[in-house]
Amino acid sequence: MILKIPEHTAILELPTSRVWREESGIVCAISIKAKEQTVEQAKASLEMMRNYLGDEKVCMLIDVTHSSESSRELRAFAAEALPKMVKAVAMVSESALGKMIANLFFNLKSQPYPVQMFNDEHEARTWLKNFL
């Protein structure tokens, strides 16, 4: 993993990730090794995210090192739902597989928000600050 959860931070535990909001306004997520979600499970997770984050769109920094493959249906659902929540997404990964899965997800269908893959957390944060 590239991202580290800061001490004394309120964490939203989801089946496929751990999420928190930083004082800067950036929302961070660390993907965890998990079985592929169903669309129904993803909808429940998204509702938990909405409750945690509120209605404003956010900039997300996601560590996709341990991302799992997702079905076409799940990718279609995410492609429809994420634009309602996201201003920009920066991804980091220590894993070639994580990078491949993330790039596959975000490149199969162009997104209505900026998306960029980074090797370095600092570069990802600097890029995201342009969208806060």
The C-alpha angle with vertex 88 and arms to 107 and 34, in degrees rounded to 5, equals 65
Structure tokens at 132: 């806060």
pLDDT tens-digit series, residues 9-45: 999 999 999 999 999 999 999 999 888 889 999 999 9
Buried (b) or exposed (e) across 31-57, using 16+ Cβ within 10 A? bbeeeebeeebbeebbeebeeebeeee
Lookup: tokens for 9: 């931070």
For 60, the token pair is 């997300």
pLDDT given for residue 107 in this prediction: 66
Question: Higher model confidence: residue 106 or residue 33?
Answer: 33
Percent of the chain whose predicted confidence (pLDDT) is above 70: 95
Residue 105: pLDDT over 70 = no
46-50, 64-68, 107-111: segment of lowest average pLDDT? 107-111
Summarised one tens digit per residue, pLDDT across range 88-104 is: 999 999 988 777 777 77
Choose between 105 and 67: higher pLDDT.
67
- Mean residue pLDDT of the chain comes to 90
How much is the average pLDDT of 100-118?
78
